[in-house]
Structure 1
């Protein structure tokens, strides 16, 4: 056992540019944050983040902050800021290291973002993750438990908090070092790597609540809205050139088929191979004028055109031709509607990567029109699968990783009990689904029920993706898909 304050100060010095000469300074700064009473209490903890958590409880006991998680996050980020170099130093070290080894520069920044608790490693570990087989290959499922549910007291406090437009959103550059408040996340330990994409200045950061390996965000340093354009394709391909081993993709730029933040242009990336990437091509062809670019339709529940070639400018040029063609293309025989009046419905979800020395660009065709039958969106998860997933199908889901709501953890356990005839009070919106599972597996047992339910979740998510696919996987749908391809022009 050692003294809490002594141990935390030692760990700061061990993990930063501070030295023993800074010992007294660090003690005084920490005491100012957490209070002086009981700072020398004994601890058995040796890990920096665990020590930080103990100091937060000490700060609550000393009246330095309240009990709300949001208040603790603000002080916790400030404590972890002691081991986080200032932005200019982080950027200098990144690019100096990058000149010698891009992989090491990326790895060092990633490890810093974990070590200083910006990436919430412990919270992410709470997620439930599994894979299920499908006709399209394995599908990945995550029940997202990493983000804590809001305390009603925190919700009430946020409502009464003074409104602020700074930072404009959670992706703005102004978040770097921001103290945080009850209605905006703590960012004192947040750092952003600056880079140029063409003529624009962008930032590179990691996602605090990562959905996959090295989940990162690339953000325009200006607060400008999401727009899919020729620049998008160029920038995504530049990113996968700059960051070896990473993919980069963008949510689409329209409601219903877009992501949750359409007001700030940004991309997502990471070191992850998604199910869609390894899906095979149904057919291959070449577009007219582009013999150097291999193209094809991906065997996938959504409607994906894959472009592959050695020259980035050629992929960018062809991708823009396809995007513009899709933007104005309608085929009422299969429910494809480009405009309602002057309101556009068509865009793409693009994903870039490098594979086997070539660049790949996947263009997922999206259509956000609604109808009387499907008021949530014709190509949105339909009502009968919304008990599993009713949110927009964005970039990550498109690639075959389901991000499912935390309510499902308890609800699926209720379904399991229902299948075992142990429980009859599950949510009504699961009943038809559960009865169908029970009919398919009449001999379900305590040993098999969890896997059966997981497989059923995976199959339901496949249906979600099929609902979001503009061209269905039957003969009629694939023939219509080829009509669009031929309208662009193929050899």
Structure 2
């Protein structure tokens, strides 16, 4: 397919996706011709329906590389293709107007519109996401989601070398990947292309916040809600109130926050933000274990869950009461120690206790899940007592953030090849099994010996990865799902 055919096909795809109208077609074509260094276009050219938008962008970007318009680097390619798509997307003011016109009719209509736009504009990297390995694992707690994350492209050596040569940016603009200044930002060698990025303003607790989607969605409509202000993550009453207000405005979405302390928090603690979407995780479906009363809040139902992490679920109809109750539980937890259960609230002035909160609307009531977290370390567990322990770190060593807490494993890309080597070993072939997997591989061979063949080996390995993920979550639970753990959990809830 030549460059003109690819451009006409891209315009046709953009029309079909309602990114542009027929009135925009000539203007859009001319803008993209300019980006490609072209000043003519053959008459009567018909679209070719063979390639999708990511495929057509690749053809156009390859042409730009061949012509010396852009460099053959991942970052430069992304910057160029995002500039092409930016031509085909509304300006922020027009997009926001369209979003809220649809919102007045139905919040779901508005989010459907914005999600589809984010996919069709290639901001959500659908082609890369399709590379992920995803499956489900039935556990004693419910059906877990397992993903080996292959969506983020690996940097080529030339790009890595260029990044090392770059001086730190004196402008510090944008300050981070979540700042509102990313909207429409062209990008650079060490900062992703954002020309085709749009955000929707949402007022929460009287403050300006913004809705966007994750470029590498891990589940349906994986969204990010971020503060206009670049400020640290903080779990407090205002955070609970914002989560509840958001799901009140968008009841088909849940919204949660990473914890605000290292080890138990997410990868970005320096910009206040939440994550949500239209997906029901295993934790949302978890069984209830016991209920208890909150003395100051008789209208709120409080229960604990059969889940590897320790969860208090509050149910009620009044957002303000729920936020108040959650704040009281947070304050109690921050100062709570139970040495017999291994829970120490402070080491000197260093605080260890916090909460990972998740809000949703279900059956006409608000639910606020409060996941109790503690980031204390010890000689035996230097990365965290309530963090994946040494014997499961060969599968997952990183922080257990919001997404994992709810029952979705986001596992490192290295496992794609490493697990294939384990499969080869289990089938009796010569294999390069990494040292940190060897004890586990021997266990699997001993356990499944006669069951291992070409038809069964992949499923056996996958299911045992799922079992390891459940262990990862159990390690992160401050109260274990044992008789002693539940008794200790009751001690805390009794103190409320």
TM-score normalized with structure 2 length? 0.95
Give the structure 1 partner of residue 375 of structure 2. Answer: 368
2:124 corresponds, among 119, 122, 125, to 119
1:236-259 Cα deviation digits (max 9, x unpaired): 011111112100000000000000
2:495 aligned counterpart, secondary structure: helix
Report if aligned partners of 2:316, 2:365 keep a CA contact under 8 Å in 1. yes
Is 1:157 aligned to residue 162 of structure 2? Answer: yes
Q: What is the distance in 2 between the residues matched to 1:120 and 1:312?
A: 35
Give the structure 1 partner of residue 65 of structure 2. Answer: 60
1:479 aligned counterpart, secondary structure: helix
Q: CA deviation at 1:42?
A: 10
1:351 corresponds, among 358, 367, 375, to 358
Q: What is the distance in 2 between the residues matched to 1:159 and 1:178?
A: 22
Q: CA deviation at 1:39?
A: 7.9
Is 1:382 aligned to residue 389 of structure 2? Answer: yes
Report if aligned partners of 2:83, 2:195 keep a CA contact under 8 Å in 1. yes
Q: CA deviation at 1:4?
A: 3.1
Give the structure 2 partner of residue 4 of structure 1. Answer: 6
Going from structure 1 to structure 2, the CA distance change for 1:445 and 1:344 (only over 3 Å counts) comes to same
Going from structure 1 to structure 2, the CA distance change for 1:138 and 1:16 (only over 3 Å counts) comes to closer
User: Counterparts of 1:60-139 in structure 2 under 5 Å?
Assistant: 60-139=65-144
Range that drifts further, 386-395 or 310-319: 310-319
Going from structure 1 to structure 2, the CA distance change for 1:319 and 1:65 (only over 3 Å counts) comes to same
1:251-288 Cα deviation digits (max 9, x unpaired): 00000000000000000000000000000111112211
Range that drifts further, 220-229 or 307-316: 307-316
2:247 aligned counterpart, secondary structure: helix
Report if aligned partners of 2:479, 2:488 keep a CA contact under 8 Å in 1. yes
1:385-417 Cα deviation digits (max 9, x unpaired): 000000000000000100000110111111111
1:95 aligned counterpart, secondary structure: helix
Give the structure 2 partner of residue 477 of structure 1. Answer: 485
Q: CA deviation at 1:53?
A: 1.4
Give the structure 2 partner of residue 190 of structure 1. Answer: 197
Q: What is the distance in 2 between the residues matched to 1:442 and 1:38?
A: 67
Going from structure 1 to structure 2, the CA distance change for 1:64 and 1:448 (only over 3 Å counts) comes to same
Q: What is the distance in 2 between the residues matched to 1:303 and 1:21?
A: 54
Q: CA deviation at 1:433?
A: 0.7
Runs of 4+ in 1 over 6 A off after TM superposition: 37-43
Q: Give the length in aligned residue pairs.
A: 487
Report if aligned partners of 1:77, 1:187 keep a CA contact under 8 Å in 2. yes
1:33 corresponds, among 13, 35, 55, to 35
Report if aligned partners of 1:303, 1:365 keep a CA contact under 8 Å in 2. yes
Q: CA deviation at 1:11?
A: 4.6
Range that drifts further, 312-321 or 263-272: 312-321
Q: CA deviation at 1:102?
A: 1.3
Report if aligned partners of 1:301, 1:462 keep a CA contact under 8 Å in 2. yes
Q: CA deviation at 1:7?
A: 3.5
Q: What is the distance in 2 between the residues matched to 1:90 and 1:43?
A: 27
Give the structure 2 partner of residue 416 of structure 1. Answer: 423
Q: CA deviation at 1:135?
A: 1.3
Give the structure 2 partner of residue 293 of structure 1. Answer: 300
Q: CA deviation at 1:37?
A: 9.6
Q: What is the distance in 2 between the residues matched to 1:425 and 1:251?
A: 37
Q: CA deviation at 1:127?
A: 0.7
CA RMSD of aligned residues (A): 1.9
TM-score normalized with structure 1 length? 0.96
1:408-460 Cα deviation digits (max 9, x unpaired): 01111111111111133211111111111111111111111111111100110
Report if aligned partners of 1:13, 1:20 keep a CA contact under 8 Å in 2. no
Give the structure 2 partner of residue 451 of structure 1. Answer: 459
Q: What is the distance in 1 between the residues matched to 2:138 and 2:76?
A: 43
Report if aligned partners of 2:28, 2:88 keep a CA contact under 8 Å in 1. no
Q: CA deviation at 1:161?
A: 2.4
Report if aligned partners of 1:39, 1:58 keep a CA contact under 8 Å in 2. no
User: Counterparts of 1:423-434 in structure 2 under 5 Å?
Assistant: 423-434=430-441
Report if aligned partners of 1:5, 1:39 keep a CA contact under 8 Å in 2. no
Q: What is the distance in 1 between the residues matched to 2:373 and 2:413?
A: 27
Q: What is the distance in 2 between the residues matched to 1:108 and 1:9?
A: 19
Going from structure 1 to structure 2, the CA distance change for 1:161 and 1:43 (only over 3 Å counts) comes to farther
Q: What is the distance in 1 between the residues matched to 2:246 and 2:300?
A: 20
Q: What is the distance in 2 between the residues matched to 1:286 and 1:450?
A: 47
Q: Structure 2: which 5+ residue stretches go unaligned? A: none
1:355-414 Cα deviation digits (max 9, x unpaired): 111110110000001111111011110111000000000000000100000110111111
User: Counterparts of 1:178-217 in structure 2 under 5 Å?
Assistant: 178-217=185-224
Give the structure 1 partner of residue 469 of structure 2. Answer: 461
Going from structure 1 to structure 2, the CA distance change for 1:43 and 1:474 (only over 3 Å counts) comes to same
Give the structure 1 partner of residue 288 of structure 2. Answer: 281
Q: What is the distance in 2 between the residues matched to 1:102 and 1:186?
A: 29
Q: What is the distance in 2 between the residues matched to 1:210 and 1:354?
A: 22
Q: CA deviation at 1:16?
A: 4.0
1:126-152 Cα deviation digits (max 9, x unpaired): 111111111111111000011111212
Q: What is the distance in 1 between the residues matched to 2:307 and 2:41?
A: 58
1:482 aligned counterpart, secondary structure: helix
Is 1:260 aligned to residue 267 of structure 2? Answer: yes
